[in-house]
Structure 1
Amino acid sequence: MLKVSLRKNKNAGFTMMELLIVIVILGLLASLVAPKFFGQLGKAERGTAVSQMSALETALDTYRLDVGQYPQTLDELRKSSHPRWDGPYLPKDVPLDPWGNQYVYKVPGDNGNPYTLMSYGADGKPGGVENNEDILH
């Protein structure tokens, strides 16, 4: 018959010093990896903004083909009282940019363009650098 011992092994587990060393090593690794990770996160948000703006531009162009002019607001892509309106031109409400701000839409646009569509970036203010830089599409 097999006899099971209920005695505890005094050598089992980690000492406080070993745990502190492991925590310090994990902290050092995190400090090396975190900046690169957050840099990629900013690039992903900018890529999302560009993709959303491309979808909005497609909807704007389709609206113009149907109605004969660009809408005065982005909300007209979802509902309008214009007699030639054949929308909605977006499947859902107009999205916010990845930072939770509304896209900037102006008719007529800057520099002789029919419209201007842009995001002010992470800070939600004109100008800026890196993640705060304006995205004009």
Structure 2
Amino acid sequence: MKHIKNHPQTGFTLLELLVVLGIIAMLAGIVGPQVMKHMGESKTKAARVQIEDLAATLDMYKLDLGTYPTTEEGLKALIESPDSAKRWNGPYLRKSKIPLDPWQQEYHYVSPGEHGKFDLFTLGGDAKEGGEGEDQDILGWQ
């Protein structure tokens, strides 16, 4: 008969696990706000890029028809021919849906605009005029 040696069990004690969880929680508390700050900045940058892309697409629309879509026709004129458009050569967007801003709101389009041939903008994360950080308005004419 073989003699079985008692091996001490290895593993973590409850105290060691609590210390590790405490360290992870502390790191999350330090790193989390920085990550969220950069996420807000990236949404703002994404909105600026989308506005520039939509503005370029509106310019292509104008090349074909001679005018920008009216406020009533809106950005929908980029994917569906308005009744008044005789030389419409679209759709001008790859997708059959107008993109939403990074906060899942529709972009605002006014033509003729107060700041140019058209105004294209989003009101940011709070969907209200003004604001700072992620809530700032992203304006196509600035």
TM-score for both structures, normalised by structure 2 = 0.87
Which residue of the partner structure matches residue 52 of structure 1?
50
Which residue of the partner structure matches residue 98 of structure 2?
94
1:75-108 superposed Cα distances (whole Å, 9 cap, x missing partner) = 0000113111111111111100000000010011
SS at match of 1:27: helix
**One of 125, 133, 138 as aligned partner of 1:135:** 138
- Structure 1: how far apart are the matches of 2:42 and 2:135? 14
What's the Cα RMSD here? 1.7
| Structure 2 unaligned blocks of 5 or more | none
**One of 107, 111, 119 as aligned partner of 1:103:** 107
**One of 110, 115, 119 as aligned partner of 2:122:** 119
Which residue of the partner structure matches residue 31 of structure 2?
33
- Structure 2: how far apart are the matches of 1:102 and 1:4? 76
Alpha-carbon spacing, 1:76–1:122, altered in 2? closer, same or farther (3 Å): same
SS at match of 1:91: coil
Deviation, structure 1 residue 8: 6.5
1:55-75 superposed Cα distances (whole Å, 9 cap, x missing partner) = 101110010111011012100
Which residue of the partner structure matches residue 61 of structure 1?
59
Provide runs of 4+ in structure 1 moved above 6 Å: none
TM-score for both structures, normalised by structure 1 = 0.90
Identity of aligned residues (%): 40
Point out which structure has higher relative CO (alpha carbons under 8 A, 6+ apart).
Answer: 2
Deviation, structure 1 residue 126: 1.3
Aligned residues: 133
